[in-house]
Chains A and B, each alone.
Chain A
Amino acid sequence: MIPGEFQYFAPTTVDEAVSLLQQHGEDAKLLGGGHSLLPAMKLRLTTPAVLIDVTKISDIKGVSVNGSVTVGGGATYHAVASNDAVRSACGVLADCVAQIGDTQVRNRGTIGGSLAHADPAADLPAVALALGATITAQGPGGARTINADDMFVEMLTTALEPNEIITSVSFPRLGAGAGAAYEKMRQPASRYAIVGVAAYVKLGSDGNVAEARVAVTGAGPKATRQDATEAAITGTNGDDAAIAAATDKAGEDMDYLGDIHASEEYRRAMVKVYTKRALAKAIAQARG
């Protein structure tokens, strides 16, 4: 488990990193926490000639909470999970990253790395979709923002250009009347999601569900919004019957993946189970 030969750079600014990316083109890969990239390199599934480590760029490691929750692309899961301000402003985000892998993974893995890698079983993409997060990426032409909804294109593929760096990700504050939850069945070996469902709801002044977003990860090739479920729960009073009806629609038009841990059929069934759990929890939280 020894990777092929590579050159290593550790820039301290985003500009420097971008120009290194420009310079080395297709040979180069950004290195975040390395918890997806390095295992692949050790198995020689990928052999980049140049690694550009972004974890020494202090500008992209911060976590701040004001109007929204802004997390640097190079911030670790641990930095997010252990941040009290994040926990009170957007508890679901802290909950989600606290369930990623194990302690070592959380101490190294980064928010930007997770979203850029877009592993079909990664946790964070579901929460990013359900919360409508905005990803800020910087490339040679400057910075731009990408809506989470546009980010995940297919398995391991995102809207990011090869010469762009995720500098920050912004999540909404969950104020009064809003609730969100992430419910996950762990794959027993890796602890990735066999199925993970993130649900966000906002109640109207009448107490009914005014807005809902539900996203599934783990079950198929990429994290996906559950439009039919969202439509079914919106406008209802969010009681058990409403949740059950909305859950019935979950995972209906999705592609599935099967492996030794769970078949497609099982994942399909579990999408419903976990959608129900996540919705119920989000609604309960929104009711306060």
Chain B
Amino acid sequence: MTTVTKMVGQSLKRREDPKLITGKGNFLDDIKLQGMSHAAILRSPYAHAKINSIDTSKAKALPGVIAIFTGDDMMDINPLPCAWQAGRVQNNANTPRALSAGKALYAGDGIAMVVAENRYIARDALDLIEVDYEPLPVVVDAKKATEAGAPQLHENAPNNICMTWDCGHKDATDAAFSSAEVTVKEQIINQRLIPTPMETRGALARYDEATGEFTVWMTSQAPHVMRLLLTAFVFGIPETKLRCISPNVGGGFGQKIFCYADMAFTMWAARKLGRPVKFVEDRSENYRSSTHGRDHITDVEIAGTKDGTITGLRIETWANLGAYLSTIAPGIPTTLYGRIATGVYKIPAAYCKVHGVYTNTAMVDAYRGAGRPEASYLIERMVDRFAAEIGMDPAEVRRKNFIQPSDFPYDNGMGLLPYDSGNYEPALDRALAMVGYADFRNEQAEARKQGKYLGLGISSYVEICGVAPSAWIGLPGEGWGAGLWESANIRVHLTGQVVVTTGSLPHGQGVETTFAQIVADELGVPYESVLIEHSDTAGTPFGYGTYGSRSLAVGGTALYKSVAKVKEKAKKIAAHMLEANPADIEYADGKAYVKGSPDQAKTLGEIALQASVAYSLPEGVEPFLDETTYYDPPNCTFPFGTHIAIVEVDGATGMVAIKRYVGVDDVGNPINPLIIDGQLHGGIAQGIAQALYEHGVYDENGQLVSGTLMDYAVPNAAMLPNYELDRTVTPSPVNPMGVKGAGEAGTIGSAQAIMNAVIDALAPFGVKHLQMPATAERVWRAMQSH
């Protein structure tokens, strides 16, 4: 008897990595095509300007320049679409064109394109283009943009308001506040962040004149969706005329979900010139012109009783969406934010109002966590504020207000489908135990006597993964302009090798590894004989892509179901081979046999061979083991957890040092714990980065002051603590594997753990709130002014 080792649950190293860490990856900029030309983009130095004229004659004369195009040349294609017009955006969805014409609305707005023999010439030519700009007044702050007299960006969006959206119960909430024993009010800013994937973005387009077909290699998290948007919306050509391929993608964090101008202008120019056109952003362009994240200004109030019961939550947020709408921008500060604003707490009356605002800044869209970090930061800060106000232990306030296990499925009243499952207290307890909560409070008191400022911050979070079902998220409900199902095809080849094609698009999530683990176990085949193919619209079934921590819960479930179908068919064929009744066949460990006679088994390899050569198949059974599933989940999944940070603040300088970082997360059944930990580490790093370091800063003229890595502080390893992680496991009832998603939990759970700790450390100074990032100077000022 062979013993079968279970693959699911094992911390396998990622099969993707050897290639990447030995420099053998194949990224966009590694691809070189015959006759390839190179594009460079002239970008407006002004954040708001009328463009009176563009003179390209000198630039055209530079040897090696093939062509120069402006926005006026590209009027035969449509603006990029906005695919998630959540929040009643309809009448004023202003999206970017391949190149802007007539006006530039942010510093970095592309207004002319040089195509040249190499990228050096293309870059040199930019300096020779002469533009007559007429600078216009600028507004960068979302709240100021809505005030009377503010510069206006779009004629159809008075006061720069793109949408006003709300959720929850306004009257009940107002009533809760008017009768509340305690209310606490704060203005909380969730600052702008720049996603900073290691690889910048770009596209390489080829046009085949003979067939009228485009091929575009792109740094995209969602090539199938790009194919749809670029053909049906931008170019108005049949979908079949475009093939999209994502080669290795060097990190995305959301920034690479969207449809970008470069996809459109490389395609347009490739068709015009009959030559492939490549465009790869440099880091400065990535910072100035690709999407940013967060950027909320929020007035928030919490109401409760003196003994710690939260009775109301009222939120008004100004969400900066940038100069135009990016592909899914409106959905982020609405569905993915307001609807989860009550977090892990049973809050009887809550209301959230959001203003989506245009400003003269780069577009803002999903960035790791997308709406949920903003929501969990808000509620977790306010719970701490409330606890401090009533003089109660913040851990106890949380415990007292947690949604209880018996409450699930739980409707939070904010228009979300019910939270699928949860058990919040064990995660809190475990985290408190790991950090030594009781001892810490003594240590803290002792340290304060010696002029040392220690602080501890708790964050109990819940988030939304695998957003679905399509009937809820789609147009009639939340305004997402399509579905959110996922697909997987599985084929068992004649040789017994298993090939999976998926619509998901892993770019660092380790999906090739986890999906192979699932197939190996479910089908009972060696892990090594499972190949996962993805990222090319030719050869993979349609999928919505990898983001929102959805690949496992949605794509993985599609795969799981396809495997089940393959097993069913294999059983039928095995019955035929064994001359038995299909109903008597069992399938286990890669073999099919008549119940009770496992020694007379047919292996999957034998069955696949039989199915493939098709010399003898049961009546009505088609050749080949090949099954596809399109899976639309009945609900989202709701991972949760508690993170706790301990920090020490230097009383002289305000510098924050992280002493401990504990995280207890519940992402459902773990497929690969090593990958989960890796995702959490990266996610927590990004949350800590928001709390302490990163800040996308525009000056009042709309110049991005933090426009290089010399000023935008992405932390390195030495600026981050060791993570002490543990898990609780509450399987999700939404899908058969009981999985939830782990890609964003770390980011969603972490920033407020740090900020709550910093503010706790500053309690002796009477500090009640501090905006992020908690730079040394900010902390120092808070200590000075109290």
Contact = CB atoms under 8 A, between A and B. Distances in A.
Interface stretch (B69-77, B227-235, B270-278, B707-715): B707-715
Contacts of A189: 693, 706, 709-714
Given A1-B283, A43-B284, A262-B777, A188 B713 contact: yes
Interface in A237-276: 260-263, 266, 269-270, 273
A44 interface: yes
Interface in A187-202: 187-190, 194
B282 interface: yes
Contacts, number: 57
Interface stretch (B118-126, B419-427, B436-444, B493-501): B118-126
Contact of B777 (A2, A5, A266): A266
Given A1-B283, A260-B697, A260-B706, A44 B127 contact: yes
B723 interface: no
Contact of B715 (A5, A185, A188, A260): A188
Contacts of B714: 189
A190 B708 CA distance: 10
Contact of A260 (B127, B283, B692, B711): B711
Contact of B124 (A4, A187, A190): A4
Nearest to B695: A260
B705 to A, nearest CB: 5
B711 A190 contact: yes
B716 interface: yes
Contacts of A261: 711, 775, 777
A269 B652 CA distance: 9
A2 B710 contact: no
A215 to B, nearest CB: 19
B711 A269 contact: no
A84 interface: no
Interface in A159-199: 185, 187-190, 194
Interface string A73-112: 0000000000000000000000000000010000000000
A25 interface: no
A39 interface: yes
Interface residues of B, number: 32
Contacts of B282: 1-2
Nearest to A269: B780
Contact of A185 (B653, B697, B719): B653
Interface string B717-734: 001000000000000000
Contact of B719 (A1, A188, A262, A270): A188
A211 to B, nearest CB: 27
A93 B712 CA distance: 29
Interface string A1-32: 11011000000000000000000000000000
Contacts of A39: 708, 710
A260 B775 CA distance: 10
B647 to A, nearest CB: 15
B568 to A, nearest CB: 56
Interface residues of A, number: 22
Contacts of A194: 776
Interface in B254-291: 282-284
B655 interface: yes
A173 B738 CA distance: 67
Nearest to B650: A273
A101 B153 CA distance: 41
A194 to B, nearest CB: 8
Contacts of A2: 119-120, 123, 282
Interface string B770-786: 00000111001100000
B43 to A, nearest CB: 13
Nearest to A190: B710
B655 A185 contact: yes
Contacts of B705: 260
Nearest to B283: A1
Given A2-B119, A2-B120, A262-B777, A188 B710 contact: no
Given A188-B715, A260-B697, A273-B652, A266 B780 contact: yes
Given A4-B124, A43-B284, A102 B777 contact: no
Nearest to A273: B652
Interface string A199-229: 0000000000000000000000000000000
Contacts of B713: 187-189
Contact of B716 (A1, A4, A102): A102
B520 to A, nearest CB: 40
A2 B121 CA distance: 10
Contacts of A269: 780
A189 B714 CA distance: 6
A8 to B, nearest CB: 14
Interface string B683-709: 000000000110101000000011011
A1 B123 CA distance: 9
Nearest to A276: B652
A273 B712 contact: no
B780 A185 contact: no
A92 B710 CA distance: 25
9 contacts: A5-B124, A189-B693, A189-B710, A260-B697, A260-B706, A266-B776, A266-B777, A266-B780, A273-B652
Which 3 pairs between the two chains have the least Cβ-Cβ distance?
Answer: A189-B713, A188-B713, A1-B282
Interface of A: 1-2, 4-5, 39, 43-44, 102, 185, 187-190, 194, 260-263, 266, 269-270, 273
